[in-house]
Structure 1
């Protein structure tokens, strides 16, 4: 037994410890991961600041060159435009003037390279420092797109290679912004002179490398169309792989570059909407949290060992006491239920839960004896109740059969009135009891009312007239059993029954569909009732002794079944004039519109609102 108790004690604790440690580890991992990710985002923001400063400066220098009037005048000079007619001295003078402009721009903006592409036939096109042949633009990435962009008057960015100042044998890659200077000659010929401003790609690449928060991360800069301009890797193959990746990468999703997997993080530059993408190696990223796994494992081993040791001691202690109690229970199981032997506690003076269990054991035996006796008496009571229930089921059938015998006997002896009365009474009780169900179709409810009227007409000599204006489509719906009959009964009892001067009674039942509900209207031409009496009738509680108990019970059942927005409403006396209101005559069936000589009495009109449900839906609602 102690082994089971050991498991019962230790397993929940161990599971709890595991859950707590796991949650703590996950929390720490989440916090650490959040900080690492925030660091990567912050590094991108800082890189954005540096890169944007360079790009804004390039754009500013380029705008200065485009707006330089001296440069425009030199290029617009006819002699400059027609290089074929210029001699060596003129070309040198032109070179000197242009070179002075570009040198001054570089001096004013240290760290930037400026230059211009001139026709290949120009002698200084081979300068390769400030001046480049126009044909050299064909070596740039996507030359056709570049030429089309410049001719449209827009600027473009490319990585261009230029010679170093003071060391013409070496060259450096520059991130270059190019823009056109448009010159229109007197002859109408339009010439484009692309000028460029560049910054060393190595400087920008170092900014990208400084933005790496995890060793082995890759960063690259791509333009609006996804073309990679710069990356932390100088190899051309690596940049080609990144170029394929750039358009599809999403933040913190795993992407594959070559054979390695990376987390991708994209940041848009504030200056021009370029994408700065960080690729963080998945393995190195997860390595940041390896210490959490080690800590989790060590703490689990220590706590599990401590929990198992404590659980073993507690299990052995309580298992010995449970074994002692189990022996006593075996005695009871063998038949000693009437025994009154007190249990001696194994440890004197102890008052824990097991001691309380020992002390109450004998009391439990006494209670079991009492329950056995009560169970015997209850068995006899249940048998008697089942017999009464069987009799209650037999009695209605006995009544139906008796009424059928009276009906057939009366027909055999020609007593048609007695036969009709027996048929109506039988149908009335069948529909009233409804086999114990609470739901009934509206058509059967109207038949129930008609049976009641037929029985009452036998008593009042046919002076009660019932008019039914209920369309067939409404008769297919269902209502609670005995919903309309109490209102018809009220019209008769408080009309002809309470007033001997009233010799006849006319009752109309109307129904219509309204916003998914069924609205019944029961109207009579009786003396009517005041508003206080109507309120008391509607609000009468079941069992309160009020004479309006039947109407109050119907209202209570409707609200209980459908909700508080449904129920019974008595219209004020001033809204009731005879059998029908004027505003209802156009809407209702012609059956309820026949004039009668009793319209001078105020009459009573009651509205009953229920939900439009079919029989199966209503039975499901009431749980029938």
Structure 2
């Protein structure tokens, strides 16, 4: 087995110089920074823990004071209502004497309503209400007044009777908003029994004072100094009265037993393990309630500042490493960088991208190699362009050579002579054929020009179809639906004729026995392009065969596809690769050929 040290030495020896420098920088910079970060973290974390807990103490005590003030405000308001003489008088009225006296009951309602409204404000008492005997006409108002007889059937009423405390507290519930047509608002309610001042065993009503749950939550939120901590109120039954952040509370999921050992002035903080995480908690009972205020702060939040310093040291270590890497790269790898850049350009050329150029400002060997590469790529581009132009010229020359085989003047004079001979001898069909053929070749040759108007191309097709109809006994119906605005647009000549010929020979004539078929030619502009369609109702073909027509084709499709591929190739050479033909066909449903060319005026 080889010596591990020799293996490591061999690997280091074979590294590039840039790699060796990077390893040296890592040992000289990253290792000392890591040791310093660890040492700083341990020392700073202790100091910050003391500061954070002191700040949490202040926030807890301030929130507790605000909360006690709100509770006492509600209790004092209940005292005023409890000892009010009018309240005692109106709630102890005799049912037999006042049961039908709706005028007096209405007067009582207005006085009580005005009295209760005087306690309401947005900061302390959201609404003051009374539970009154059910026989009173306003007992079912359900805003400032509620039916005490109906309330006596509830568990909340039984809990109120069983309580020996001065007041009781209802858990969170929703009441109608003070403003009409608004959604109900969540509140926390104080309940207090009103006893007959002359017969204290008789309960004549119940006071309900509501405070917005949002106000209590706001006090608790201000007491929560930790991002992931929670400050909450828990009643004697273990239910949550209010919480600064319910999402955090659900994630922490503290055990209600945490407050069982709470004392009014208990220890400031104690450690607790909740759900596998470490927390510090503080609890304190709220006077005149069955609530306990609890703060739970994750140890991770307490150590946030020290963790930030640790992270800052890690960032500094990373920055130093990156700077070291950059210096090593610039000093030891400047030459490698230029070679890699040239290699990248060569790969682009290998993938077929010829529009590249490598920049070089030096005149050393790499600079000369870069210049040679640029010269080579430039020559390749010129050769490719020259080959493209040659191919384009060859196609045009082939077409011109085909046209040059026919002497136009001799052909026109011969066809004119045939026309007059046919008229002299009373053979009108021959005259029509000769006229159509003369028109066909006149438009085909077009004085040697490759570009014609769409109108001339359509006239050329009309002449061609007229000749074919004389041949095939008028079996071909031509339907031209082209936007008149397109007639003056430019188009390569002899584009439509091969497509129409295919539609007649391989579509219509193969589909019918003695029945006529229709060739529909449509055209319309579309977003800077002209779309022409040649469609027949002939025999059609499978979609796979239609797709192969524009490919190289095989022996069985060579005759049918040669003219089509020639048209597609000419369009792409003239207008660009994004233009050309597109076939759609299925057996028995005919064939449609779409032609797309750019929209150009003559």
Q: TM-score if structure 2 supplies the norm length?
A: 0.40
Rg: which structure is higher? 1
TM-score (norm 1): 0.38
